[in-house]
Amino acid sequence: MYNKINLVFLGVLVLSSLAQCKTNNSTNTSEDSKNLVTETKNIEYFKDYYPSGNLKTEGQLIDKEKTGKWISYYENGEQQAIENYKEGLLDGYQKSDYSQVLYMEGYCKNGLKIGTWKSYFKESKILKYLKHYDDEGKATGEWKSYYDSGEIASIENNLNNKANGKQIEYYKNGNIMKVGEKLDGKKNGIWKYYFDDGTLRCEREFKNDIDDGKYVEYFRNGKMYKTGTKQNSKKIGTWKTYDKQGNIVETISYDN
């Protein structure tokens, strides 16, 4: 259900030029030309409603394109989003809910996210995500996420819209959960995984996001639990399993 209020905007631009002619005895002024340029734009104030009759969306259209501030509402009347447009594209400050518990804010240019975007928990206003975009709208730099109580949850490095460089995830107590490198969004090299007390739990080697190479698991006491090699995510060669005292309890050989 919607309602449109049609307005007609009339802009008038008057261009005039004056020519002056001088003689020894007098000065004559004449108007050589006068041009009248008239531009007409169709301006509509748009409103959309829920079946209940409550306002859902409102904003301005100029020549059928969204322009200026648009506001969206939940059916209970609570504001859901503020969006700014220029010639039909998101442009300027934006703020909107994107889940039941989170909202985000930042700036757009020509329909693309730019600069720093922040997401918050709605109730506590505690920061949830901190993200950065370049002038082309691509993910760049260091992104961070946080637990609802404010502790750091992850650090992700980005370049050209993909995860590149060191990636870290944390337990709520501040200890590292896992750490490794990504190249063009894919895990590469040795990734390390930890128990919540900070002791090493597992080491896995990746190539283009696939287990390929060293694989080791540990007990909480630091003793090795399992060791072997993987190729294209499949176990190859000899795999050994140990007890907590370091004794071998199982040995299995896999065909390449």
pLDDT tens for residues 224-235? 999 999 999 999
End of a domain among 112, 130, 158? 112
Domain encompassing residue 213: 139-255
* Residue 150 falls inside a structural domain: yes
Q: What span, in angstroms and rounded, lies between the C-alpha atoms of 58 and 99? A: 21
Residues 107 and 145 reside in one and the same domain: no
Task: Please report the pLDDT score of residue 39 as a whole number.
Answer: 64
Percent of the chain scoring above 90 in pLDDT = 82
Number of domains in the chain: 2
Residues 147 and 250 reside in one and the same domain: yes
Residues 248 and 164 reside in one and the same domain: yes
Residue 109's nearest CA partner among 87, 140, 131 is 87
With cut-offs at 50, 70 and 90, classify the pLDDT of residue 238: very high
* Residue 211 falls inside a structural domain: yes
Residues 162 and 102 reside in one and the same domain: no
- CATH at 196: 3.90.930.1
Task: Please report the pLDDT score of residue 38 as a whole number.
Answer: 53
Dihedral of CA 160/163/166/167: which sign? positive
With cut-offs at 50, 70 and 90, classify the pLDDT of residue 26: very low
Residues 163 and 246 reside in one and the same domain: yes
Q: How far, CA to CA in Å, does 31 sit from each of 17, 19, 23, 26, 28?
A: 6, 6, 17, 17, 10
SS3 221: coil
Residues 143 and 240 reside in one and the same domain: yes
Residues 105 and 145 reside in one and the same domain: no
> What DSSP designation does 24 have?
S
Q: What span, in angstroms and rounded, lies between the C-alpha atoms of 59 and 70? A: 4
